[in-house]
Every structure is written in C-alpha cells, then in structure tokens.
Structure 1
Amino acid sequence: MPFFKDADEVYQYLGGVFVEASKTEVGPKMAAADIDLTIYYTDPESVMTIKMHGDNIEVLTGEENEDADVKLYMTADTGDKYWRGEYNLAVGLAKGQVKAKGPVNKILKLVPLTKPLFPMYREGVAAKDGAAV
C-alpha cells in the first residue's frame, strides 16, 4: 500500500520539502542550479515542477513543464525514501527504478545539497508515520 493516500499528500510532503528548502541556507544553493525540474510520480499519480533560478525556488504542484531542463519519473514511495535519506538516487537511475530525461548530471549535482533537508523531511512526515501505524 502506498505511503501517500492521494496527490494532495504528495504535494504537501514531497513538494513541501522544496518549499521548506527555500527558507533555509540550502535554498539559494539549490536555486543556483538554474534549472526547471518536473517530477512525475505514480502511486498516486501526481506531478510537480520545481523552478530553481537565482536565489529562488518555486514549486508548482499539479503542473508539468514540457520544456523542463530535467524530468524525473518515479513512484511517490521512492521520493519518500529519498527524502528520508534511505534511497540513493544515482543507484536508482542506474537500475532504472527512476527514469530521467535531460542532463541528469544537473540533478546529481543537487543531491549533496539535499542531505541537510532529510531531518526536516523526516520531522515533517513524523505525524503521518504515527498515523500509518
């Protein structure tokens, strides 16, 4: 059974981590990547575009960007595991568990920047974890 019950929860938690990142010292570093990233999730079906430019991160939930620099395709559970620090994105890409279109190296450069956000994400889903028991 998927961790997220619907797209709204995906946006709240997986989209929310990008929103929260923009409020930390990590945000401007991620925004400096100067890319648009669209993530397509399954189980439940959902899509979001994260625009990282200048020193700003903008999250557009329910919106795809056909012209995004990088597009990622994965299950929402994979996204959850990544933000918990339990999933290696590079290995997932190599194994085909995560699909990508565009210059993947741009996303892989962001991966080290996201590690300080893992505890914040785990704290954010803690109440949902408790409800899932």
Structure 2
Amino acid sequence: MPTSLRFSASQLQELLTAVYASADGSQANVLVTRQLIVAFEFRDPELSLSVDGRSGKAVVRSGSGPEAGDAPTPDLTFHLSGDAIDRFWRGELNPVVAMTSGQLRIDGSLLTALALAPALPGLQAHYRQLTADWATEQPQL
C-alpha cells in the first residue's frame, strides 16, 4: 500500500476541484441528477468544500470567503481527517470500517450516501491519477 500523501489545504482544494472538473458525465451527473450538495469537512488540513450539483454541473466551492455565509445547506457532509483523507480518495479506506472506527463521519441520509457510491470509484481513479502526476511534478508532497 502506498504511503498516504499529505497536502496543504490549498493543495487539497486544488486537487479535489480538478477531480470533479475532470469527472466524466456519469460521475458528476449523480449529483446533478439528484440535485445534491455534498460537503467535505477536512481536518489536518483544515478545509471545508462543497460540491454543488444543483447548479446544473458539479461545482466545487470552498467553505471560506464571503460566499460561504450564503451557501445552501448540504444534503450530505463527509468528515475526514489526516491520512484518512488521502486513503478515502485513493479507495483504500473501507467506508463501513471507517465509520465504525470513527475515521469517517457522515451527516445526512445514509441512503443518499449509498446512492453516490457507484460514482465514487471513477472519482477515486481521477484522484489517483492526479496525485501520481503531482508526485512526479512536485516531489515535496
């Protein structure tokens, strides 16, 4: 198993924005079709992101800045911290085990979260590719 990568908040935001921007229609359309907003609350690094499918395409927004106060309430919020963030996005963290061990917490309907599961492997594949590219371009990661 590869060593978990650690990112700064700005690197993680840039990376996840690229993951959703490069997602094919089937992955992004899950959020758009269901008109969902999914939020991610990360700790270590501290970062709040939401992916808004209500806008007609999956748009990633940071939880900071003036627009954060006007942001609609997410349908689901995933809470992850430390190396669990990288392991989740790599597909190396079993969500059920992570939830029972406290590494992952989900606020919102578990049925809604399960409806998103089919799109996750494609997003994780994009993440793995992008992190492989970053590791070769930016050895300080």
The bucket for the TM-score relative to the shorter chain is 0.7 to 0.9
Gaps of 5+ in 1: none
Partners of 1:84 and 1:119 within 8 A in 2: yes
Equivalent residue for 2:134?
128
Equivalent in the alignment of 1:4: 6
CA contact (8 A) 2:20 2:123 kept: no
The answer to whether structure 1 residue 38 and structure 2 residue 39 are counterparts is: yes
- Structure 2 portions without partners, runs of 5+: none
Equivalences for residues 16-27 of structure 1 within 5 A: 16-21=18-23, 23-27=24-28
TM-score by length of 2: 0.77
Q: Which has the larger radius of gyration?
A: 2
CA contact 1:31–1:55 (8 Å) conserved in 2? yes
% identical aligned pairs: 21
Conserved 8 A contact 2:87-2:93: yes
RMSD: 2.6
Aligned length: 132
Cα gap change, 1:56/1:92 in structure 2, threshold over 3 Å: closer, same or farther?
same
Q: Counterpart of 2:41 in 1: which secondary structure?
A: strand
TM-score w.r.t. the length of structure 1 is 0.80
User: Per-residue deviation at 1:33?
Assistant: 2.7
